Every structure is written in C-alpha cells, then in structure tokens.
Amino acid sequence: MGRRVDDRWLFRGLDLSVAGGDVLVVRGPSGCGKTCLLRLLAWLDAPDEGRVTLGERGPADIGAPWWRRRVAYVPQTPPALQGTPAEFLARVGTFRTGNARRDPVGIAEGWGLPPSTWDQPWSRLSGGERQRALLALGLCGDPEVLLLDEPTSALDDEATAAVEATLSGRTAVWVTHDAAQADRVATNVLELGTP
C-alpha cells in the first residue's frame, strides 16, 4: 500500500497482514503516517496504490459502511460533539449497519466509567472520560479488527490496565508511543520511519 501527501510519499510499498487474535503495534515519530495508515485500513481515505482486504474481500466488495463495522477505527480523541454520549449512541443505533452487539455502557463501566457519565454533555467530560466512552462505542458493534490510535493516552495506569485486559485476544492494529504498553500488548511491531 502507498499513500501520497501532496507530491511526496508518506509510505510506499507497505505490505502487512494481521492474523486473527494478533496485535500489530505501529510505532514511529510524529507525522510519519501512523494515523493515516489506520484511516486507510478503515477505508476513510483512499490509498494511492494498493488495497486492503479482510480474508479475500475488500471494502468495495462488502460495502464501505459494513467494512467499517467489521474493521472499526477509533480516533485518539473524539471531535467536539454536541449533546451527550448517550445521544450519540442512540444515533449510532439508527445507522443501517448499526445493531449494537455489546453494551458500551457496561464495557466502559468495567474501565471505571460510571453509567451516569453517558448523560453528561461531551463538553463537560474529561479527556479520559471521553476517550473511554469513544472506545466503548467502537467496541459495541463487536468488530473483527480494531484500529486503535493511542487508545489509553488520557488514562491513568489502572484504567489503562482495565482497557488492555478487555482488548486482549482481539485482533488489532494499535498505534502507541508508550514502549511499555507496546511490550505488553504487541504480537508484532511495525516501525514507520520519517518519510
């Protein structure tokens, strides 16, 4: 796979595969294309060359929204959203692809996020609360592959350990700066260099 930004290649000739249950940790300096790689895998951006597949089939075969339900990208922090996480969850439930197979409120409660948090406006939540709510939203469709962008960057050690425990055994491409976390969760490591 390759991705160009303006006239230069961010990366090129990248060929990777992740087996079921594996966690591929992606590391590298800021601006090397880690987030960009996750967005390509989620089919939110188009690769300039190459393709992505799940088994034999690509996003165009199964339909991009259905692809994203199975290969779920969770951004590092949620954008500025109106309303509450509970309202956002209700909206996700109206999507044609959206039947929640897991209860995100219950998942997040296991990470120390009380259910009452879901009825607070996003703007009143701390960074750590937002991050856990968002990650739980990403898990509620029970995706086959998770694309995680620094999923615990705003969490303390206890919550981080709880999140890692929930995610263990799941197939993931996991971007992290935290070397200790990489050692704990990685089955493979991809180092991206400066372009």
Report the interface residues with other proteins, using CB under 8 A.
39, 42-46, 59-60, 63-66, 68-69, 72-75, 78-81, 91-92, 94-98, 137-138, 141
Residue 77, beta-bridge partner list: none
CB 20 within 8 A of CB 172: no
In the bound state with other proteins, the residue whose beta carbon lies nearer, of 28 and 104, is 104
Nearest approach, Cβ of residue 94 and other proteins (Å): 7
Nearest approach, Cβ of residue 191 and other proteins (Å): 25
In the bound state with other proteins, the residue whose beta carbon lies nearer, of 137 and 155, is 137
Residues found in the chain: 195
In the bound state with other proteins, the residue whose beta carbon lies nearer, of 31 and 187, is 31
Handedness of CA 136, 99, 169, 13 (dihedral sign): negative
Residue 73, beta-bridge partner list: 147
**Chain position carrying tokens 């439930």:** 93
| DSSP β-ladder status, 8-11 and 145-149 | unpaired
Nearest approach, Cβ of residue 10 and other proteins (Å): 14
In the bound state with other proteins, the residue whose beta carbon lies nearer, of 140 and 186, is 140
Nearest approach, Cβ of residue 12 and other proteins (Å): 19
Structure tokens at 153: 């960057």
Residues ≥6 apart with Cβ < 8 Å to 174: 23, 24, 25, 26, 146, 148, 151, 185, 186
Nearest approach, Cβ of residue 153 and other proteins (Å): 16
Q: Where are the beta strands (DSSP E) in 123-170?
A: 145-149
In the bound state with other proteins, the residue whose beta carbon lies nearer, of 118 and 186, is 118
